[in-house]
Each structure stands twice: as C-alpha cells, then as structure tokens.
Amino acid sequence: MAKQFNGRDVNSLKQQEDDSFGQFFLTITIRGVDVKNSNILDIRIRENIFSIVPTLEMTFFDYGIFTDVFPLGDEDEILVNISTDKEQEGIKTSFVMNDYSIIPRDVNNMNSYIISFTATLRTRNIFYPQYSRAFSRVNSSDVITSLFEEAGFNVVEPVISKDTMMWIQSRINNLSMIHNVLDYSYLGTDTTMFAYIDKHNNAYIKDLKTETRKPKSFDLLQSTDPSITYYKQIKSIDKKLTTLGYNFFRMGFHNGTNNKTGGYGVSGYRYNYNAPTKYWDEVDIKNLPLLDLTPLTDYSLKNKTNATGNIFESAIFPMKYKGSNVHDNYEKAYLINKYIKKTFFSDVMVVNSYFNDEVKLFDKINVTIESLAKQSESGEINKIYSGEYIVVGIINQVSKDGAYKSILYLSRGGINKSPFIEDTEMKLYGAD
C-alpha cells in the first residue's frame, strides 16, 4: 500500500517539493565591501514578538580586509541578501553594527582573524535620541503606530485598543516608550497586545486573542521515512506554503514547579496617602479570568483546580491613578498584560526546520510529533505536544557547512489531549 498523508500519496507529494533544496544564494556587504562567502562561519537573523527589533549575529574569517584596509566601526551598515532561488528576493535587509570582537589567529604563517559582531535592523529615531513629550487623547495603538512611523516603518493592519489617555514619554527613547505603552495597553480582560518589526521591514501591532482564533497557516510535520528526511516543503497549486518539514524539536519551560502546579498569579497594590494606619490598598483583580485561548489546546491553565492561581509576583503602584491623564483600566491593564505574557508563553517548543521565508511571526501552525514512548509503534502520534501553536520567534541561520535552516519558537497556553482520549486523525508524513 502506498504511503499516505492526509489521504494523498506521499510519492505525489515528493514531486511537488521545492527543487531549490540544498542551495542558497548569499551576499553580505559591510560598508559596501563584500564578505567572501567561503569565510563565513555562521549567520543568524533573529526576530521575535518580544524584542520588537530584529537582530543579526555573524562570525567570519578575515585576512586583513576588515582589520587593516577597511576597519570595522560602530554603526557600519551591513546589507544582507539571502534567498533559496535567484528568481526570488528572499531576505534583503539592512542592519547597523552595534558591537564586534576580533580574535587574532595564525594559519599557515598568515595573519588572520575571527570576527564576530551583532547588529540591529536599520531604523530612524528608535534607539536615540531621547524625547520628553506627550501624546494627548489617543489610544496605545495610535502611539505605537506614530513611533513606528517615526522609525521609518508602516504598520500593517494595527489593532484598535480601548485605552485613550495622555501617554507621556519622559526622557526615554522610542524603543523604551513602545515597551512602556505595551505594559499599560488595554484590549480587554482576556488578551494582550504585541508590537514588533519583522526582517522585511514591516511593523505589526497584534491582539493575541485574535491571532489564536485565525485559520491555520500551514502544517509542520516530522518525517519518519529516512528516504524523505530532507524534504523541505510542499506547496499547493497557488504556490502557497501548505506543509513544512522538520527533523528535530525540544521543549523549553520558562516557569517554575510552583507555577506549574498552582497556576500563575499576579497581585497589585498602591500606596494610600490618606489612610492613617493602612498604607497599602490592593488593586482589584478578583474578576480577572484565567487565560482561555482555545482552540489551541484542550488542557490549559483554565483547567487548574486553583481558580485564581497562587500569587508569585506583585506590582506596586505609587498612587491611585485617576482622571483624564490615564484610562479607566490603567492599573488592571498592567496586571493583565503581565499575567497573560507569563502564562501563555511559559512553555516553548523549539523546532529545527528547513528554511522557508514564508513563515512569519504569529503564524498559527499545526504540529505533528511522533510519540516519545519507546514502546510505541512507529507512526503513533504524541497527543500531548502535537497540535496548534503560535510562532513567537524565528532564527534564520546559515552555517559554514552549507546548511540553511529556520529555527522556530512555538508557544500556546497549555498542552493538547490526554493520552487516554481516542486517537485523532493526525498522521506522520511518511507513516503507513
């Protein structure tokens, strides 16, 4: 019997694989001077939903070009062009050098160096200067949109927040201001806001709840057939990505045992100047619902027996904020945002996949994982970790051995079905 995936013959799927696998086209210039590809040891372009601005890390051999002839300096412009096909643009981005190190080495009586540097995406007015100003009677989404536009980016379909007030920027740069605004932004009691720039110079403002409810972007499958271990991607007739393969994953846990067993909680207090004996008032968050972002998981933090979660962190407010200078949910918004970002993203799955530039932050993907139990039969699905995830981080990596891969960081608010539940219809690519 021919091997099947979702009712389709695997051999027919192979014929639709991208012919460019195993090849990539790379050009790196520093201040207009080419870096020889054979000298490059490692390149990593990082983007994630928390850091706002993408970064570049690179290590390469140098034989005097960037030490004696064209010495490196802070804020040097680095142009990166990576693609898997000469006909496609791929990643074409400009970065600015932040820091670098030079290590001398002696090879075959020739002076040479190992150079490593980090760089950030080229922007205007986001890291400096510092500003002191006010954004009057606007919501948080409007403020962040204005800051992104000052930095030279257009925002793609921004969300509309419910937090009109006077937002004050007091002697901080625009990047810090964006972080501050996100802390106190308010979209509702069961969601939170994210703002970031991707490697293609597009800016986004996202609502987490909306992103978890959108249609699936593509499938991410683990291969069990050695003959197709290196399959890259399968595209539909309209050339859109439908399936991406991977050969390795690991789970990372960013929350402690107490939080896992008791549930994560936050509390808020403010200093009361008027009370003669009671100096602290508790901020009312009793009605704050536990995170319930189905259908990503069947078992999430909403199922904890402790209805409110143990309190492991507290926020202190210097006074009671009121009046037209702040929105009505100013204090509660801070606690909600802190709470959701600590719970929903407490676990992360890291997947080594084959490079595909169509994968984007906040894509919703369906992951299929083979059972980890040694006694399980080949092709059995791991029902705990398989299922739907949100892409929260991407590393595009090129290494000296010619490998070009994407490392995907995936999160969701819990785990999938219990192993005692009936088998699902998911199947591994290459399994009978």
Q: Note the pLDDT tens digit of each residue in 29-40.
A: 999 999 998 899
Q: How does the average pLDDT of the chain come out, rounded?
A: 77
Residue 382 pLDDT exceeds 90: no
Contact 115, 59 (CB under 8 A): yes
Within the chain, which residue ranges are assigned CATH 2.40.10.10? 25-121
- Give the CATH number of domain 4-18+214-254+346-415: 2.40.30.150
Residues 365/45, Cβ–Cβ less than 8 Å: no
Helix, strand, coil shares of the chain, percent, nearest 5, are 15, 40, 45
Q: Please name which of 393, 395, 388 lies closest in space to residue 412, comparing C-alpha atoms.
A: 388
Q: Which architecture does CATH list for 131-209?
A: 3-Layer(bab) Sandwich (3.55)
What pLDDT is attached to residue 117? Answer: 97
pLDDT band at 57 (very low <50, low <70, confident <90, very high): very high
Q: Average pLDDT of 99-125?
A: 88
Contact 342, 240 (CB under 8 A): no
Amino acid at 69: V
Q: Are 186 and 334 in contact (CB under 8 A)?
A: no
Q: For residue 276, is the peptide bond before it cis, meaning its omega torsion is within 30 degrees of 0? A: no
CA atoms within 13 A on the CB side of 185: 28
In three-state secondary structure terms, 256 is coil
Which residue's structure tokens are 């219990």? 418
Coil, strand or helix: which one is 264? strand
Query: What does the pLDDT read at residue 274?
Result: 67
Which pLDDT does position 43 carry in this prediction? Answer: 94
pLDDT for position 91: 87
Q: Is residue 426 scored above 50 in pLDDT?
A: no
- Provide CATH 3.55.50 ranges for the chain: 131-209
Query: 400 vs 97, which has greater pLDDT?
Result: 97
The amino acid at 376: S
Domain with CATH 2.40.30.150 in the chain: 4-18+214-254+346-415
Residues 168, 180: Cα–Cα separation, whole Å: 10
The CATH number of domain 25-121 is 1.10.3720.10? no
Structure tokens at 400: 């000296």
Rounded CA-CA distance 404/418 in Å is 36
326 pLDDT above the threshold of 60? yes
Any bridge partners for residue 60, and if so which? 40, 115
Structure-model confidence comparison of residues 81 and 274, the more confident one: 81
| 63 and 69 Cβ atoms separated by less than 8 Å | no
Confidence of residue 223 (pLDDT cuts 50, 70, 90): low
